[in-house]
Amino acid sequence: MAKEKGTVILAEFGSPAELLKAASKLRDAGYKSFDCHSPFPIHGLNQAMGIGRSKLAFFAGVAAAIGFTIALAMQYWMSTIDYPLIVSGKPFNSYPAYTPVTFALTVLLAAFASFFGMLFLSKLPRFNHPLFESEKFEKFSDDSFFISVESNDPLFNTEKTSALLNEIGGKNLEVLGE
């Protein structure tokens, strides 16, 4: 099904604390391409997995700046340059009146960037993944905790990785996407 994406080894863990512990051991063993699956976000996993904080806020900040600029430029150009229109004797460039629209567009673009940036950074939507072959994996959305190690990791070796996962407390190991 998803052969070109490679193989994934899935191991189950008993609790958030065990997951955290196991993740830090995998990190210390030098693994890079693995992920911890849980029904809710677990704090401390970023450090335990050795990955940094999300860069999403940067996306949103840039989008907000773009929204702000576009809104001001648009209002100035439309009401002062392209078709100046006298309305109740107000100045053409009534810049204080631009505040609400500028605010709205700044916020709107930042919101779009947060939402679509999140999808982009987490590589979603993705409807096909070796993990979806597992019967057990669906419990990640209910009450179970998993670690998956992907075969594109340089240290990946089906037997050795499985042994390591067993050693750090992983149960019900499954090799998927073969």
Partner 1 sequence: MDQPLIRGNPGFHEVTETISRVVEIKTPRAWYILISFTGLIALLFVAFLIHLFFTGIGIWGNQVPVGWAFDITNFVFWVGIGHAGTLISAVLFLLRQRWRTSINRFAEAMTIFAIISAGIWPAIHVGRPWYLFYVFPLPNQMNIWPDFRSPLLWDFFAVGTYFTCSLLFWYLGMVPDLATFRYRAKTKLKKIIYGALSLGWRGGNRQWRHYEVAYLLLAGISTPLVLSVHSVVSTDFAVSVLPGWHSTIFPPYFVAGAIFSGFAMVMTLAIIARKAFALENYITIDHFDKMCKIILATGLIVSYSYIVEMFMSWYSGNIYERFTFMNRAFGPYAWAFWIMISCNVFVPQIFWFKKARNTIWVLFVASILINIGMWFERFVIIVTSLAHDFLPSSWHYYKPTIFDIGMLVGSFGVFLTLFLLFLRVLPMIAMSEVKAILPQASTHHLDSGGIKFETEKIAG
- For 37, phi then psi, to 5°, come to -105, 130
Per the document, the length of the chain is 178
Q: Confirm or reject binding of residue 151 to partner 1 (CB under 8 A).
A: no
Look at the block and give the residue holding tokens 């391409």: 33
In angstroms, how far is the first alpha carbon of the chain from the final one? 9
Residues of this chain, 96-125, that bind partner 1 according to CB under 8 A:
97-98, 100-101, 103-105, 107-108, 110-112, 114-115, 117-119, 121-122, 124-125
Q: Which distant-in-sequence residues (6+ apart) come within 8 Å of 144 by Cβ?
A: 12, 39, 136
- Applying CB under 8 A, the site for partner 1 has a residue count of 76
Hey, which residues between 80 and 99 contact partner 1 (CB under 8 A)?
82-83, 85, 87, 90, 94, 97-98
- CB of residue 125 vs partner 1: minimum separation in angstroms? 4
Q: Contact at 8 Å (CB) between 106 and 70?
A: no
Contact with partner 1 (CB under 8 A) among 4, 143, 154, 159: 143
Which range in 52-60, 151-159, 160-168, 170-178 contacts partner 1 by CB under 8 A? 52-60
